[in-house]
Amino acid sequence: MSWLSKLMPSGIRTDNTPSKKRSVPEGLWEKCSNCGSALYRPELEENLEVCPKCGHHMAIRARARLAALFDADSTTEIAARLGPTDLLKFKDQKKYSERIKIAQKNTGEYDALIAMRGLLKGRPLVASSFDFAFMGGSMGSVVGERFALAAETAAEIGAPYVCFSASGGARMQEGLFSLMQMAKTSAALGKLREAGQPYISVLTHPTTGGVSASFAMLGDINIAEPRALIGFAGPRVIEQTVREKLPEGFQRSEFLLEHGAIDQICDRRELRDRLADLLAMLRREPPAPEEYFGTDGIRGRVGQGPISADFVLRLGNALGRVLVAQRGQDGRRPIVVIGKDTRISGYMFEAALEAGLVAAGADVQLLGPMPTPAVAFLTRTLGVDAGIVISASHNPHYDNGIKFFSAQGEKLDDATELALEAALDVPFTTAVSEKLGKASRAREAVGRYIEFCKSSVPRAFDLRGVRLVLDCAHGATYQIAPLLFRELGAEVIGIGAEPNGVNINDGVGSTHIDNLAAKVRETRADLGIAFDGDGDRVLMADDRGNPVDGDDLVYILARAWQAEGRLRGPVVGTLMSNFGLEKALAELQIPFQRSNVGDRYVHQALVEGGGVLGGEASGHLLCLDRATTGDGIVSALQVLVALKQQGKSLREALQPLSKVPQKTVNVRLGDVSAKATVQAESVQAALIEAQQAVSGRGRAFLRPSGTEPVVRVTVEADDATLMQDTLDRLSAAVRTAAAA
């Protein structure tokens, strides 16, 4: 009988009826409409509203799209305050003038097209983007005028022009005035061509009617996003007219590309680089400078941009040369360890990195499938010069990425990263034969990491008699995690532990927690544990299948560590951590600090504040007295130790934590600065009033978007009515200030 079994009467163990679900904050998670994955909203925004699981392109607002295209702080809006008028006094179920006001209020825009001039990788560009949220992106006089002004501006300043279309077609409420925009925009493009400047049209979902029949299909190059619906009339209308069944996928991007109607299909996340390269080619300019490294290494679609075998070969060679130069003349070749997750493309990139490094004179130790935190640990403890992980974390199999670790198991410092980027501009180099590197398998890596994980828990700790469901997302933990938990004595029921190269994160793992919960109920397990594809996140499910998120796990650890005397410094969450967590910690007299959303910000706050425990709801947990980075396996072990020390089940340990309802709404501001709106005296007064209304019972705060004129208004309170009333008043104050 396990320690959990002794604590739980058989009636509880056998009752598989789910208990009341724990509160899930609104606006923090979003479900993909295509694959059903639960997506962490801050990460979805960072991914440009593209589902990292299935690649589905969700709707993205015009300003967010343009912000992702242009260089930061380089834009000027064109005809910002140009708004529509109801010359025809049109009325259907509502007056057109009323529809305009409603659309303007709901979107914060004057009309459906936003146009800007700015810089793309340091070179001038004019671009416009439709906002489908404004009356279906329909084209009226203002849309046509803004498009024409943008094209004329491009001709005047000698810059190319790019338009992102997403439209239902001409705006019927403007009648002939709307149809005339087709001629106006064509004439404007004629002026642009006379000026010798290229025009690229990017067709997104959906692009139909008069827009598809005019400038959307007139690009020197026509690009479409995946699976976008593009055509003049809808397929249903065409089928009724021709009385024939249309082919599968008719009017979708892929069908149009196959039949020559468009030139390319490009993932939204790759568009900035693709457009920069195409425009340089069309203008006969040198290629735009490459931007290789993001905040978390390099990541993207396999075979596109830098995620290609030839680039990764050069990348390995460049890193090898940098490390050889850093070692100087001490006579020892630098050593690099390489780990990967289970994506089929990992074999290709592993071989490419190995060849590039060895050619430069570096030795390579191949770790095979290995969680990202394990690679960080092994890099730090094996005495090597650098570590590399080939993984795209929770993304689908067709994405991959490269992440680097310094000899200390941390992110490369800025100097090394700059040296690496500079080395990429130098041709591939092969060292003389006697200075070539060698490659070998690191045979003891798995055992070494498992022993490290075991060392993070008390020597006498075991899981004998505990039945747990373990979901490894068909990813990097699929070998290590089941082996480790079985060695500790647990009865492991595995799911997501049969990778085939293309099923990583596919319906399993921490972003599909419902599968774990169902398996726990089905098998009457004590609890369930789910990791993501590269093993740096962990979520759980209790014995009744209730999901347990990162906020819950932070609470369990904070309470246990305080009793143990292990907790020091503040516990760090994020701006989106539930107020219930803050309140519960306050009752225990545990200081709590909030950082920006993202595990790197949590880590920074912990280091600066001398803390050891932090995390966010998505499952990134940091236990800095046990690991230098987020480690899903180590974090899960710490929770299990805490439960055993407290003598409680997972569900019982969470009973004192009462999460409160939380909701976030986006208030759109038109061309008004989000930061200026938040700082307005009336808004600050309303914020103070809102904070007083929920004082001691919740929080109210404002977050100006850095990419679009949006203020995110968040309120949480222990009473749903109080929360909604406070949210409505604060949102109204923001809208009023923006309109003033």
Question: Which residues does the annotation mark as catalytic?
Answer: 393
Q: Which two tokens stand for residue 562?
A: 């305080």
In the three-class reduction of DSSP (H, G, I as helix; E, B as strand; rest coil), residue 479 is classed as: coil
Residue 505 backbone class (left: φ over 0; alpha: ψ -120 to 50; beta: rest)? left
In the three-class reduction of DSSP (H, G, I as helix; E, B as strand; rest coil), residue 258 is classed as: helix
Question: 346 and 392 in contact (C-beta within 8 Å)?
Answer: no
Q: What is the DSSP string of 2-29?
A: -HHHHHS-HHHHH--S--PPPP--TTTE
Q: Where does residue 447 rank: exposed (0-12), middle (13-18), buried (19+ CB within 10 A)?
A: exposed
Q: Which two tokens stand for residue 333?
A: 């070749």
Residue whose token pair is 């997750």: 341
| CA–CA separation, 702 and 715 (whole Å) | 9
Helix, strand, coil share of the chain (percent; to 5) = 40, 20, 40
Task: Please give the single-letter amino acid code of residue 610.
Answer: G
Residue whose token pair is 């808004």: 683
Question: 389 and 445 in contact (C-beta within 8 Å)?
Answer: no
State how far the alpha carbon of 203 is from the alpha carbons of 197, 211, 254, 257, 275, in Å: 20, 10, 12, 12, 13
Task: Please give the single-letter amino acid code of residue 169.
Answer: G
In 490-581, beta strands by DSSP E: 491-495, 527-531, 538-541, 547-548, 571-574
Q: What is the DSSP string of 213-252?
A: TTGGG--SEEEE-TT-BEESS-HHHHHHHHTSPPPTTTTB
Residue whose token pair is 């990791």: 531
| CA–CA separation, 602 and 622 (whole Å) | 8
Dihedral (Cα; 305, 308, 311, 313), 10-degree rounding: 170
| CA–CA separation, 696 and 194 (whole Å) | 65
Question: 577 and 645 in contact (C-beta within 8 Å)?
Answer: no
Q: What DSSP designation does 50 have?
A: B
Element (H, E) at 126: strand 123-130
Q: What DSSP designation does 335 have?
A: E
Residue whose token pair is 């006001």: 101
- Provide CB contacts within 8 A for 700, sequence distance 6+: 687, 690, 691, 693, 694, 713, 714, 715, 716, 726, 727, 730
- Provide CB contacts within 8 A for 595, sequence distance 6+: 572, 573, 574, 575, 601, 602, 604, 605, 614
- Provide CB contacts within 8 A for 211, sequence distance 6+: 130, 137, 139, 165, 167, 169, 170
Cis peptide before 206 (omega within 30 of 0): yes
Nearest to 642 by CA among 631, 652, 628: 652
Residue 510's DSSP bridge partners are: none
What is the β-pairing status of strands 38-40 and 29-31?
Answer: antiparallel
Q: What is the DSSP string of 89-111?
A: --BSSSBHHHHHHHHHHHHS-SS
Question: 186 and 214 in contact (C-beta within 8 Å)?
Answer: yes
What is the β-pairing status of strands 363-369 and 399-405?
Answer: unpaired
